[in-house]
Structure 1
Amino acid sequence: MPQPDPSPRSGSTQNLGEFAQRVLVVVVIGAVAIALWRLADLVLLFFGVVLFAIGLRAGATFIAARTRVGVSVALVVVVIALIAAFAGAMWFFGSVAARQMNDVALQAPAGLKVLIGRLQEHPYGRYALEQLRGAGATNGAGWAASLLSTIGQGLALGAGYAVVTFFASIYLAAQPELYRRMGLKLLPPSCRDRANRVFDQTRLILRSWLAGQFVVMLVIGILSGIGLWLLGIEAAFALGLVGGLLAFIPYAGPILAAIPAVLVALTQGPSQAGMVILMYFGVHFIEGNFVTPLVQAEVTALPPVLALLATIGVTMLFGPAAVLLAAPLTLFAMVVVRVLWVEQVVAPGPRMTRDFAKHP
C-alpha cells in the first residue's frame, strides 16, 4: 500500500520557518533602530569621534609622508602638538581671554537693557516686548543670567564630551583598520564591498571638509578680532575667538557670534553697534565670496540650500547640540545615498574616484 507523500507538510514547515526568520530579522532591525534613536546622543558622540579621528589620522599621514617616521609615531607627534598648543594657548591667552569673557558677561546684560529701552520708544518695539514679557525676556539682567547659566551647563557637559571624544579618537586613529574589520564582520559578505566604499569615500570627503573648515574658522577669527579691535570694542580678542570657533556651525554660527559683540557695542553707543553689524557683514562677505570659494576649489563643496535645510533638520531631530555636526552628517548621508542607491540602482556604472571629495 503506497505511503503518503510528506513533502507538502515539510514544505509548509519550511515556509513557516523562513517566515519566522524574516519576522525575527524585522523585529531585530526595529529594536536596533529604536535603541539608536533612544541613544541618539551616543550615536552623535561616536560620529564626532570618527570625525576627529579622521582629522588626527590625516595630520599623522601628512607628517609621515614628509618624514621618515611611521604613521604611529607621527600620530603621537600630532597628539603631543595638539596638547602643547592647547596648553600654550591657555597659558598665554588664558588670563586675557578669561578677563575679556568676564567683561562680555558683565556688559552684555547692560547692552540688552539699552536695546530694550530703544525698542520701547517705538510702537512695534513695544508690541514685540509685550509678546516676550510672558517669557520673562524683558528682564535684561535676569534673562542674560539665565542664558549664561544655561550656556555654562552646556559648556561643562561639552567639556566632558570633548575629553571622551579626544581619547577615543586617538585609539580610533591609531588602528582604523582594526575597527573597520570589526564593523565589516557584522555585515553579510555580499555587502562588505559596498560598505568598504562607504568607509573610503566618507574618509575622503570628511578629511577635505575638515581642512576647509579649519581655514575658514581661522580667517573669520582673525578678521573679526582685528575688526572689533579697530572699532575700539572691548573684549575684541575674546569676541574674535568666539567668532572663529562658531564659524564651525554653518549659518547659525555667524549670528550667534555677532550677538554678544553687538550687545557689548551697545554699551558704547548705538553707532558702535551699527558699525559692529556692518563689520560682521563685511567679514562674512569676504569669507563667502573669496575665502570659501577658494577653499571649495580644493576641497568639498556643500550646496548652500542643502546645508541650510540639513542644519535645521538635524537640530529638530537631535537637539541644538547636534548643529555642530550638521554639515559632516549631511556629507556622510550624501556618500551613503550615492554609493548605496545612485550607483547601485539609479545609474549603475563606473565607481567614484577621488574627485568625489570635490563634487559630492
Structure 2
Amino acid sequence: MEQNSPASNNLSFKNKVWLTAGILLLLLVVAYLFSTLLNLLLLVLAGALVSIYFHACAGLLTEKLKIGSPYALIISVLLNLIIVSLFFWFVGARLNSQVDELSQKLPQTIDNAKRWLSERPLGEKILNYSTNSLESGKATSTIKAFFSSTFGILSDVYIVILLAMFFIASPETYRRGVIHLVPTKGKKTAENLYDEIHRVLKNWIKGEIFGFFFIAVLTGLGLWILGMPLVLTLALIAGLLNFIPNFGPLIALVPAVLLGLMQGPNTALLVLGLYTFIQIVQSTVTQPLIQKKMVSVPPALLIVGQVGMGLIAGFWGVLLATPVIAIIMTLVNKLYVEKQEGENENNAA
C-alpha cells in the first residue's frame, strides 16, 4: 500500500495554509467592498428620501390647488426653503443663545452629577471607571473619532443634497433606468415593486415628520410645565433624534437629565418620567398608526438591524436602518411570501 512521504505531507499542509489564508483575504476584501458599497447605497437612499419628500409635498399642492406638477414641485421646494429660513430667522437667535447657555452650564452640571454620584456606592464605581478611561486616553481617542466622523457626515450631507437635486429634477429617468435593468419577463413585477417601495418610503417619511412635531411639541410643553431652562433647544433635540428609533430618545434624554440635576435630583427624576411617558404614548398610540401604512418592522429585528448597520456603516446605518429593513421586508413579502401563499391556495383548491 502506497504511503505519502513526509515531503508530500508537508507540501499538502503548506497548500492548505495558503488556501486558508487566501480565503480569509478574499473574505476581508469582500467585506471591505460590501461596507464601502453599503455606504454609497445609503447615501443614494438618503437622496431618494429627500426627493420623495419634496414630490409628496408637490403632490399635495397639485391635489389641493389644482396646479401642474412642475409648478407644484418648484413651489414645494421654495415653500420648504422659506419655512426653514423663517424658522431660523425668528427662532435662530434664541436657539443660538440657548445652545451657548447649554455649553456654559454643562461643566457645572457635570460637576453636580459627579458630586451626586460620589455620594452613592454604585456612582463611585462609575466615577472610578470614567477616571481610568480618561487617564488611559480613551476619551481623547473618542473625541478625535467624534470630530472625524462629524466632518465625514458633513461631506456626506453635501453628496446627499446633490443626489436629491438630480432625483427631484427627473425621478422618472431613474425609475426607467432601474426597470430597464430587469429582463423583459420581470419588468411588470419590477414596476410593481418599485411603486410599492416608493409608497412604503413615502409613508415612512410622513410618519417621521409627524413623530418629529409630536415629540418636539409634547417635550417642549412638558419641560415648560416643569420650569426647565432651554426648553426650545431640548425639544428640538428630542424631535430630531426621534428619527433614530430606540437609541435617539436615549441620547436626547442625557442633556435634559443633566440640566434637571442642576435644579435638583427631584427635577431630574421628573424629566426622566416625562421622557418615559412621551415614549410610551408614542409607542402605543402614534407608532401603530404610522405602521399601519407601511411594513410593520418587529422591534427586535429593528434593534439588530440598527446595531449591525451601525457597526458596518456608522451614522447613516443607524439613521436609515428602518427604511432599509422596510425595503427588504417589502421585497421578501412581494417576491416570496405572497407567491408562496398564492401557490398554497392553488394547491388547496
TM bucket by the smaller chain? 0.7 to 0.9
Partner of 2:17 in structure 1?
none
Partner of 2:109 in structure 1?
111
List aligned pairs for 1:183-202, cutoff 5 A. Answer: 183-202=178-197
Q: Secondary structure at the match of 1:39?
A: helix
What whole-Å deviation, never above 9, does each CA across 1:288-345 have from its counterpart, x for those lacking one?
222323444455533323222222222122123421111111101111222233244x
Distance 1:330 1:292, change over 3 A: same
Distance 1:146 1:38, change over 3 A: closer
- What is the CA–CA distance in structure 1 between the aligned matches of 2:68 and 2:306, rounded to whole Å? 38
- What is the CA–CA distance in structure 1 between the aligned matches of 2:135 and 2:259, rounded to whole Å? 18
Preserved CA contact (<8 Å) 2:204 2:290: no
Q: 1:337 aligns with which of 332, 335, 340?
A: 332
Partner of 1:228 in structure 2?
223
Distance 1:138 1:236, change over 3 A: farther
- What is the CA–CA distance in structure 2 between the aligned matches of 1:287 and 1:234, rounded to whole Å? 24
Q: Could you tell me how far 1:226 is from its partner in structure 2?
A: 1.4
Partner of 1:320 in structure 2?
315
List aligned pairs for 1:1-360, cutoff 5 A. Answer: 35-136=33-134, 154-298=149-293, 301-344=296-339, 346-348=340-342
Preserved CA contact (<8 Å) 1:258 1:280: yes
- What is the CA–CA distance in structure 2 between the aligned matches of 1:98 and 1:229, rounded to whole Å? 19
Partner of 2:15 in structure 1?
none
Q: Secondary structure at the match of 2:322?
A: helix
- What is the CA–CA distance in structure 1 between the aligned matches of 2:99 and 2:337, rounded to whole Å? 49
Q: Percent identity?
A: 27
Preserved CA contact (<8 Å) 2:241 2:248: yes
- What is the CA–CA distance in structure 2 between the aligned matches of 1:237 and 1:91, rounded to whole Å? 15
- What is the CA–CA distance in structure 2 between the aligned matches of 1:256 and 1:188, rounded to whole Å? 46
- What is the CA–CA distance in structure 2 between the aligned matches of 1:148 and 1:37, rounded to whole Å? 23
Preserved CA contact (<8 Å) 1:100 1:238: yes
Relative to total residues, which structure has the larger helix share, 1 or 2? Answer: 2
- What is the CA–CA distance in structure 2 between the aligned matches of 1:81 and 1:99, rounded to whole Å? 27
- What is the CA–CA distance in structure 2 between the aligned matches of 1:165 and 1:287, rounded to whole Å? 29
- What is the CA–CA distance in structure 2 between the aligned matches of 1:220 and 1:149, rounded to whole Å? 31
- What is the CA–CA distance in structure 2 between the aligned matches of 1:58 and 1:100, rounded to whole Å? 34
Where do 5+ consecutive residues of structure 1 fail to align? 1-30, 351-360
Question: In the alignment, residue 47 of structure 1 is paired with which amino acid?
Answer: L
Normalised by the length of structure 2, the TM-score is: 0.81
Preserved CA contact (<8 Å) 2:62 2:72: yes
- What is the CA–CA distance in structure 1 between the aligned matches of 2:245 and 2:121, rounded to whole Å? 34
- What is the CA–CA distance in structure 2 between the aligned matches of 1:216 and 1:342, rounded to whole Å? 30
Q: Could you tell me how far 1:93 is from its partner in structure 2?
A: 0.8
Partner of 2:25 in structure 1?
none
